[in-house]
Chains A and B, each alone.
Chain A
Amino acid sequence: MPPRDAAAARETVILRHPWPVRLMHWINVLACTVLLMSGLQIFNAYPALHWGKSSYDGRPPILQMGARQDAAGNPVGFTRIFGHEFDTTGVLGMSSGVERGFPAWLTLPGHQWLAMGRRWHFFFAWVLVVNGLAYVAYALASRHLARDLVPTRADWRSIGQSVGDHLRLRHPRGEAARHYNVLQKLAYLGVIFVLFPALILMGWAMSPGLNALLPGWVDFFGGRQAARTLHFVAAWLLVGFVFIHVFEVVVSGLWNNLRAMISGRYRIAGEERRDE
């Protein structure tokens, strides 16, 4: 083992994230949290999802939550997906003794209050859109996009190794830790340029006003109710991304990463040496 001060000497602190990225990142976290929870409040007002243009076209919903009585007369919560029914008492369909899709701890407001859920949702939808546009403008102008996010040719070549590293939870050290790795870049690009735009477009597709902008454009998503279903699925895909993202943040150095996203400072340890 090298002596302590030698290790310290090999350690460098860099400015990882410029302040606009940090600011917009946390605004986005806030907006997405509110949008998810108020969205689930909205979902609960009609806890069923359909494919197609309307909810009443003679076909059953593809997903439905509700409460009913079992053979013994006890109330149970159920979730029905593509005709398969699951007992989800306590979480979905029925929780705290009342019939409701998602439980109170997942919705905003907690109790059933559609009007207020919509206020939260549409206020933070604007926050998300304005913040997102500002981010894209900044990423283009500052070359953050070109420099830090678009994979380089070397990145593409290292993709196999990066997959292996992720599976073994090995994280880049030293010089390599200065940059995002290729899987990280692809995940960020996918979320920024595919998932978020899709979520926003499908949100707009549910607006009867915007439907009139260009009659029929909503059919591109399969119709308004299909857009509602896809909006719901995309929201959970975003939750899936956040889980993986937070997992990677934790295993690759929670404090260092958190500090980098708060004050910008990121500590880079020296190169790992075989003989260590």
Chain B
Amino acid sequence: MNEPSDSRRRFLQRALAAGGALVLSGCDRLSRIEWFAGLLASAEKLTYASQRLLLTRRAMAQEFSEADLSPFFRSNGTSNPRDPAYQALAAAGFADYRLEVGGLVAHPRSYSLAELKALPSRTQITRHDCVEGWSAIGKWKGAPLARVLEAVRPLPSARYVVFFCADPMNARGQRYYESIDMEDAFHAQTLLAYALNDAPLPIRNGAPIRVRVERQLGYKMAKYVMRIAVVDRLDDIEGGRGGYWEDRGYEWYAGI
């Protein structure tokens, strides 16, 4: 009775070890197969659809009190764009900055920083959640994107709002960009922010203008925004997935 059960046990041990190794290397290999990685990514559509179903445009991200503010608001990604044109703007205190707003809109136009500050503003203390896992709480002041969009009047075909930024991300000079849908674009807490914690937005946090999209993760909230385009499709912009990090495998809908 002992013999077979011993050999069976040995077989089981080996099978488990081999199986484990196979599973580990197999999973890594699976991650590299395009259709399989695509299958895994399909969960994003489910998440997007269910969150859009649950969250109306009125569903607000939590707002906090001054007591919750992080003593220091961490900067991630670019902290000072290495771009001569940007550096020239910064040296002049962004006096010559113009935010271009165009694409599928009835009245394209541009805004100076002063003009953006002259729009009705919103101030909110919110939690910034980075895709890496950390959170920080900051007080933002800015012009709601909805006010700007109302002025330029998106055409009926408008589906996304794309933000083009000043910061080059790699040796090829590709710049940061991001996009959101019209739901988030018109959300009350979606801001073109120019102040953080009652001070002008520091360069490391995105001066002169960064986006706040409070119901999504930090990488959606583009810094150093130079141009806004309203579009009906994303696949003909840069890598085609709607953002710098999206082109590198991250979810376009970053609600989780």
Query: Separation in Å of the A61 CB from the closest CB of chain B?
Result: 10
Instruction: Return the chain A residue nearest B63 by Cβ.
Output: A215
- Check if A211 sits within 8 Å of B62, measured CB to CB: yes
Q: Given the complex of chains A and B, what is the CA–CA distance between A113 and B131 in angstroms?
A: 12
Taking CB atoms, residues of chain B closer than 8 Å to A210 are: 51, 54, 255-256
Query: Chain A at the B interface: mostly helix, strand, loop or mixed?
Result: helix
CB contact list, B4-31 vs A, under 8 A: 8, 12, 23-24, 27-28, 31
Candidates B23, B59, B60, B72; contact of A56 at CB < 8 Å: B72
- Check if A224 sits within 8 Å of B248, measured CB to CB: no
- Check if A228 sits within 8 Å of B70, measured CB to CB: no
Q: Given the complex of chains A and B, what is the CA–CA distance between A17 and B251 in angstroms?
A: 39
Instruction: Return the chain A residue nearest B43 by Cβ.
Output: A123
Q: Given the complex of chains A and B, what is the CA–CA distance between A240 and B215 in angstroms?
A: 34
- Check if B133 sits within 8 Å of A211, measured CB to CB: no
Q: With contacts A57-B70, A109-B27 known, is A45 near B131, CB below 8 A? A: yes
Q: Given the complex of chains A and B, what is the CA–CA distance between A213 and B60 in angstroms?
A: 8
Candidates B43, B61, B254; contact of A126 at CB < 8 Å: B43
Query: Separation in Å of the A108 CB from the closest CB of chain B?
Result: 5
Contact with B along A8-46 (1 / 0, CB 8 A): 000000000000000000000000011001000011011
Q: With contacts A53-B137, A123-B39 known, is A46 near B132, CB below 8 A? A: yes
Contact with A along B56-90 (1 / 0, CB 8 A): 00011111100010111110000000000000000
- Check if A228 sits within 8 Å of B133, measured CB to CB: yes
B40 at the A interface (CB under 8 A): yes
Candidates A53, A108, A207; contact of B135 at CB < 8 Å: A53
Taking CB atoms, residues of chain A closer than 8 Å to B101 are: none
B35 at the A interface (CB under 8 A): no
Q: With contacts A105-B24, A215-B60 known, is A208 near B214, CB below 8 A? A: yes
- Check if A56 sits within 8 Å of B62, measured CB to CB: no
Q: With contacts A54-B70, A115-B250, A210-B54 known, is A122 near B132, CB below 8 A? A: no
- Check if B43 sits within 8 Å of A125, measured CB to CB: yes
Taking CB atoms, residues of chain A closer than 8 Å to B249 are: 115-116, 119
Candidates B24, B137, B216; contact of A110 at CB < 8 Å: B24
Instruction: Return the chain B residue nearest A216 by Cβ.
Output: B62
Taking CB atoms, residues of chain B closer than 8 Å to A225 are: 134-135
B234 at the A interface (CB under 8 A): no
- Check if A212 sits within 8 Å of B59, measured CB to CB: yes
Q: Given the complex of chains A and B, what is the CA–CA distance between A83 and B130 in angstroms?
A: 25
A150 at the B interface (CB under 8 A): no
Candidates A43, A57, A122, A213; contact of B54 at CB < 8 Å: A213
Taking CB atoms, residues of chain A closer than 8 Å to B24 are: 105, 108, 110
B181 at the A interface (CB under 8 A): no
Contact with A along B112-133 (1 / 0, CB 8 A): 0000000000000001011111
Query: Separation in Å of the A8 CB from the closest CB of chain B?
Result: 14
A164 at the B interface (CB under 8 A): no
A257 at the B interface (CB under 8 A): no
- Check if A224 sits within 8 Å of B129, measured CB to CB: yes
B157 at the A interface (CB under 8 A): no
Instruction: Return the chain B residue nearest A224 by Cβ.
Output: B135
Candidates A54, A123, A204; contact of B68 at CB < 8 Å: A54
Candidates B40, B64, B136; contact of A119 at CB < 8 Å: B40
Taking CB atoms, residues of chain A closer than 8 Å to B129 are: 206, 208, 224
Taking CB atoms, residues of chain A closer than 8 Å to B12 are: 254
- Check if B127 sits within 8 Å of A122, measured CB to CB: no
Q: Given the complex of chains A and B, what is the CA–CA distance between A118 and B130 in angstroms?
A: 13
Query: Separation in Å of the A141 CB from the closest CB of chain B?
Result: 25
Taking CB atoms, residues of chain A closer than 8 Å to B134 are: 46, 48, 54-56, 225
Q: With contacts A114-B131, A123-B42 known, is A207 near B63, CB below 8 A? A: no
Q: Given the complex of chains A and B, what is the CA–CA distance between A254 and B16 in angstroms?
A: 14
Taking CB atoms, residues of chain B closer than 8 Å to A180 are: none
- Check if B127 sits within 8 Å of A212, measured CB to CB: no
Query: Separation in Å of the B45 CB from the closest CB of chain A?
Result: 11
- Check if A209 sits within 8 Å of B256, measured CB to CB: yes
A120 at the B interface (CB under 8 A): yes
A86 at the B interface (CB under 8 A): no
- Check if A110 sits within 8 Å of B215, measured CB to CB: no
8 closest A-B pairs by CB: A209-B255, A115-B249, A46-B133, A56-B70, A207-B256, A55-B134, A119-B40, A123-B43
Seen from chain B, the residues whose Cβ lies within 8 Å of a Cβ on chain A are 8, 12, 23-24, 27-28, 31, 37, 39-44, 46-47, 51, 54-55, 59-64, 68, 70-74, 127, 129-137, 214-217, 245, 248-251, 254-256
Query: What are 6 A-B pairs at a CB distance below 8 A?
Result: A42-B133, A115-B249, A119-B249, A126-B47, A224-B135, A254-B12
Q: Besides A115-B250, A119-B41, A208-B215, 15 other CB < 8 A contacts?
A: A43-B133, A46-B133, A53-B135, A57-B71, A57-B137, A109-B27, A122-B47, A123-B39, A207-B51, A208-B217, A209-B215, A211-B62, A212-B60, A215-B62, A255-B8
